[in-house]
Amino acid sequence: MSVTIGTAVGLLGILIILCAPLRYGYTLTLFFTAFTRMAFVNVGENSILVYHILAFFFVIKLVAATGKIYIKTPKLLVCFLLYAAISISFALLYTDVYVINVDGDYGMLRPSVQQFTQYLYLFFGVVFMAFTSHMLYLKKVSVQKLLHILDIAYLTVAVLGISQLFVDLDVFDSIFRNCMLKGGNQHILFAGKICYRIDGGFGEPSMLSLFLVPIMCMHLYRILTGRATTRDIAFVGIGLLICLENQSSSAVVGMLIMAVCLVLSFFAKMCSGRKIKITKKRFFLYAVLLIAMIGIMLLIRNQLLETVDAFVEKLQGQGVSGIDRAKAATLQWSVFKEHFLFGVGFGTIRSKDLITGWLAQLGIVGVGFYLLYVISICRRLWRCRSPLATELMLAILVYNGIMMISVPEFMCVHIWVYYAMAESVVMHRVVGGNRQSRTPKRLVYRRYASSHAQQ
């Protein structure tokens, strides 16, 4: 077992969690979820990350402070979680299937301990969603507060990412990427110069984009709807700069998904008969934004072309990354066609994208549970008809789109935070920063309310 700088950070965080009010402990835990390569300790070839240990002690503090945690996890997510657990045993039945094993080698499917490791990541995400929902219900934090914490993490990660261009990477790795799974320092051609691909503390440019782009899209939506502040403009600018530098295809995927969502939203409003009001002020804002975007695109046209070329190469299966992705996707698709209903078992395949990996591992049944929940929560957010609900819906769709197309593993917990915020918004019909006076009875935590009434 080896200790790192993260050990000192984790011990200080534990002290804060145990001594400070609940909201400070949760704030600290959520902030450190943006540091997915900072280890608390390294044990053999495995690592316990700082945010893992902080979340563990926070749950203990939460249970001790509130007595019980009444978990209100959506049924579809519970079904997905249970099915994934059951499907782990499928690996014993399909040892004659040719796949990319979790070690990265091509061969016959074989059960492994990593199936349980990957499932623990999934289970940890659901638990994180549960205690986030509980904190929101107890009013220890608010949706606006959580978004503010994510903004702070966004800015911190962005600044650290930019600093990679100027600092000694060995020093950077010893602080922010000291777990056993460090990732590589990749070089890239940007603005005519060879430089490092920015990945922050995530170890992979795609994982950095997975965190940054959904938050960036929420700020961009505020700009497009005439509710922009200086912070919104600055956050979008910083995010675009980083995504252009690291030429991440994940960022392109996220922006395309947001554009499609906005177009569909516009037509849905027209078809539903809702009036779309464009005031003179908003029309002027759109005109200024359009001119500014055209000017910026002309100034950075070379960088844009490099990013688009890299994205097109991956789509066409060219380049090292593109060839690997195409080969893996083809193999996983063939596995899915043979076992399309139930899959060959959770955590049995190493994939380059989540959608083909999950289809092969969980089949239509398992993936269906998850996708049905995504559709359900987005539909309920859309019916809220509030800017905050629309922002969260965009973040959920963009996050899932990037995750399904560009990310191989379901490890980051931020999507579960978005789900918890979305459930809270739907439950209380949050409009802006205020709750409507009436909450649908079917969405109330009945058990929690009744138990406190008896007390």
Who's near 261: CB < 8 A, 6+ residues apart? 393, 394, 397, 398
Angle between helical axes of 22-32 and 143-163 (0-180°, round to 10): 40
Confidence of residue 43 (pLDDT cuts 50, 70, 90): confident
Strand 98-100 and strand 46-49: pairing? Answer: unpaired
Mean pLDDT (whole number) for 164-191: 71
Where do the domains of the chain lie?
Answer: 1-67, 74-454
Q: Do 164 and 198 touch, CB atoms closer than 8 A? A: yes
pLDDT digits (tens, 9 = 90+) for 383-420: 888 889 999 999 999 999 888 887 777 778 899 999 99
**Residue 269: how many other CB atoms lie within 10 Å:** 13
Instruction: For residues 421 and 427, give the distance between their C-alpha atoms in angstroms, rounded to a whole number.
Output: 10
pLDDT at 85: 93
Nearest 5°: the CA angle 433, 439, 444 is 110
Who's near 212: CB < 8 A, 6+ residues apart? 154, 157, 158, 239, 242, 243, 251
Q: Determine the longest span between alpha carbons in the chain, in angstroms.
A: 70
1-10, 42-51, 194-203: lowest mean pLDDT where?
Answer: 194-203
Confidence of residue 176 (pLDDT cuts 50, 70, 90): confident
Please state, for a pLDDT cut of 90, what percent of the chain lies above it.
Answer: 23
Distance of CA 256 to the CA centre of its chain: 17
pLDDT at 431: 44
Nearest 5°: the CA angle 33, 47, 198 is 55
pLDDT digits (tens, 9 = 90+) for 125-175: 998 998 898 888 888 899 999 999 999 999 998 888 888 878 877 788 888
pLDDT digits (tens, 9 = 90+) for 288-307: 666 766 665 555 555 555 55
Averaged confidence pLDDT in the chain: 79
Q: Extract the tokens encoding 56.
A: 């563990």
- pLDDT at 276 exceeding the cut of 80: no
Confidence of residue 430 (pLDDT cuts 50, 70, 90): very low
150-154, 351-355, 442-446: lowest mean pLDDT where?
Answer: 442-446
Confidence of residue 88 (pLDDT cuts 50, 70, 90): very high
Mean pLDDT (whole number) for 222-231: 81
- Residue 119 is which amino acid? Y
- pLDDT at 327 exceeding the cut of 50: yes
Which secondary-structure segment (H or E) carries 200?
none
Which secondary-structure segment (H or E) carries 298?
helix 280-299
One DSSP character per residue, 141-199 reads S-HHHHHHHHHHHHHHHHHHHHHTTTS-HHHHHHHHS-SS------EEEETTEEEEPP-
Instruction: For residues 356 and 405, give the distance between their C-alpha atoms in angstroms, rounded to a whole number.
Output: 9
Confidence of residue 200 (pLDDT cuts 50, 70, 90): confident
- Residue 42 is which amino acid? N
pLDDT at 443: 41
Q: Which residues pair with 47 in a beta bridge?
A: 42
